Structure 1
Amino acid sequence: MASTKIFAAEFVCGGGFRQRNVAAIPKPLRDEGTAMLKALSADLSALGEVIVPLDLRVDVELPPGVRAFPIDASLPLWSQWIAAAQDCDAAIIVAPEHSGALAQAVAMMRAGAVDPVMSSGDFLRIASDKWETARAFASQLVPHPPTFSIATIDSIDPNLANQWIMKPRDGVGSERFVITDDLEAAKAQLQADSVLQPYISGLPASISLIVSGTQMHLLPAVSQVIDPHTGEYLGGSGPLDQDLQRRATALATRAIEAMPPMAKGFIGIDLILGEDARDDCVVEINPRLTTSYVGLRHMVEGNLAEWILGQGTGPIRCKVSAGEVRWTPDGQVWHGSESLEVC
């Protein structure tokens, strides 16, 4: 029987910046993209032959058995991805929402007769836009930081918060992320493609889920380490304790129920967990693989990639105690004091 062939593409490593000097690629994007690609392709390689589009200028040591498809900087990117994936049985894409890259990648692949295991339709459109996500949550009373656009900033109560966060509607990570205590300056600087939110104190956390058909599998909730001055993601640890797990699960369920249909594959949900459950809120939805995957894969029984591809059976079970696994954005992982192999 022929081996299953799986296409796995990550935007930064897969040529998304092929026409830019590699040194100009933001380090957080390069580190996290490389970490996700190596972890995902390692798990997929246990299920079949893996083909990865690769910008050879990006320093990526692929896991054994994973085959690189070199990207030509002079040719259109999506046509090269389609060519690499043409004979594959399954495809997974990791790309940023910024400038519509993720939505465009999914649409172009499907137009090229490649159907990636990714969300689509209104779910992808709304989850990729922080303003539209806020509107969806508000309509269904999902706890969420008050969110203002350039059209609604005049309605802001200045007593709502002492600090404010300004970020792009389609931003990724800490890109154009500004924390300020000067509300008037923030209002003056706010652009049509950005939103303004009050700074919410609490524990930054995330919970991921895998949607396959009618099944939704929730993964262990984890904490995030976020630089309080820049918003930069510095890693995470998990799983959270049982009480916080219950609270995160309840929030994630409400968030997904508030969204349109067409969720599919791996989805990450960012949260703030307060001192009390009444202060918990959902920050945003990431309709794609997130960096937490590098740690989550060491917390659960079995191979997460099986569930992403719809091949997993039964519930996904956590196999470690609270806080045992931690990781950095570049993919270094520890289980307790033991450093695990970087994929």
Structure 2
Amino acid sequence: MRDALLRNLAEMHQYEIVTLHDARLQPPALANRSIEVTSGQFNREFTEALATVDLVWLIAPETNGVLLKLSELCYASHDKGALFLGCGFDATLIGTSKTLCFEALQEAKIYTLPVYAGEDLVAGKHTELSSENISTWVAKPEDGAGCDGIELFDSMRDLTDWIKQDDRYLNYLAQPYQAGVAASFSMLCRNGKAWLLSCNKQHIVRDGNQFQLSGITINGMVAYWQRFETIARKIAKMLPDALGYVGVDVIVDTEHDHKIYVIEINPRLTTSYVGLEQALDYNPAKLILDCVLNDKFVMPNLAKKEVVISL
């Protein structure tokens, strides 16, 4: 994602690009300047860098609150002149918390999967869930990103035993497993409006009790464009401070009227961004910047090419 973004920004010949990089790694070749960061010094270096730039673009995961914490630093820097090219606090918080995301989607009348807190399972409230005839369960970190940390269980007892270990219940939740086609869509948001960029098929494979994302076909779900676009507009209305690029993970239940469940909202760049330039026949960084910076943004005509990303 970082390299794809840097390449797109460099192609615009409009900005001096400043990045940060781990001291153990080589600086990215496409940056005009890269600040070396040693262990334990990231927040200091990042905060100092914010004072020297006009625009700031984050690539960070929701895990352990990283995206939210860095976003808050960016909000604080706005008074000093650095404009944050990302979502507002509410959209970022809801995208970071699976529980808050579930509650917001439910209130907006968008199909999603129920969430059960780990504390409730440990407290013995799982007995009522056992009677729902759900055979397979998924445990997820409250603020996880992608497939990281997700575990699959074939019984409520196995799930409960696992979530009790090592105090996992403090940061894990449970959801019923939903069969179907794993998919996602990429969109632009501004002032409660949404513009769909691509409809993607995710190639997720089961590895024991875990899942792995092996690749993505950008526009592999283009047949669902109109339905995904409707959901995108509902999400943008639900999150009026969502700004710029947002990725949404869904499951399409092809066995039951192709019902679409929204699983996660990612208020940041996602892996799908890597294939967008080829799929759209357009520089996606330019598109996102135009959306964020232009009060009268108009979506240009874009291609809907199918592009495969292997991971």
TM interval, short-chain normalised: 0.7 to 0.9
Alignment-derived partner of residue 158 in structure 2: 185
Shift of 1:134: 0.8
Paired with 2:194 and 2:259, the residues of 1 have a C-alpha distance of 26
Shift of 1:61: 4.8
Alignment-derived partner of residue 73 in structure 1: 38
Q: Which runs of 5+ in 2 are unaligned?
A: 164-168
Alignment-derived partner of residue 185 in structure 2: 207
2:173 is aligned, of 186, 190, 195, to: 195
Alignment-derived partner of residue 231 in structure 2: 251
Supply the AA of the counterpart residue of 1:296.
L
Contact 1:220 1:239 in 2 (8 A): yes
Paired with 1:84 and 1:284, the residues of 2 have a C-alpha distance of 31
Paired with 2:7 and 2:51, the residues of 1 have a C-alpha distance of 21
Any idea what SS the aligned residue of 1:295 has?
Answer: helix
Contact 2:117 2:172 in 1 (8 A): yes
1:267 is aligned, of 234, 246, 249, to: 246
Rate the CA distance shift 1:198–1:76 in 2: closer, same or farther, 3 A: same
Paired with 1:242 and 1:175, the residues of 2 have a C-alpha distance of 27
With 177-186 and 280-289 compared, the bigger mean Cα shift is at: 177-186
Q: Structure 2 matches for 1:1-343, cutoff 5 A?
A: 36-45=1-10, 46=12, 47-58=14-25, 61-63=28-30, 66-73=31-38, 76-112=41-77, 113=80, 114-153=82-121, 154=125, 155-190=128-163, 191-213=169-191, 215-229=193-207, 230-257=210-237, 259-275=238-254, 276-310=256-290, 313-321=297-305, 324-329=306-311
- Post-superposition CA distance 1:248-297 (Å, at most 9, x none): 2222333333x343111211100111215552110010110001100122
Shift of 1:60: 6.3
Supply the AA of the counterpart residue of 2:25.
V
Paired with 1:201 and 1:77, the residues of 2 have a C-alpha distance of 40
Paired with 1:147 and 1:287, the residues of 2 have a C-alpha distance of 20
TM-align CA RMSD: 2.3
Aligned length: 289
Contact 2:195 2:232 in 1 (8 A): no
With 211-220 and 262-271 compared, the bigger mean Cα shift is at: 211-220
Identity %: 24
- Post-superposition CA distance 1:45-98 (Å, at most 9, x none): 1232211111142356533xx224232315631231233343322110011111
Rate the CA distance shift 1:241–1:102 in 2: closer, same or farther, 3 A: closer
Q: Which runs of 5+ in 1 are unaligned?
A: 1-35, 330-343
Structure 1 segments of 4+ aligned residues over 6 angstroms from their partners = none
Contact 1:301 1:316 in 2 (8 A): no
Contact 1:223 1:238 in 2 (8 A): yes
Alignment-derived partner of residue 166 in structure 2: none
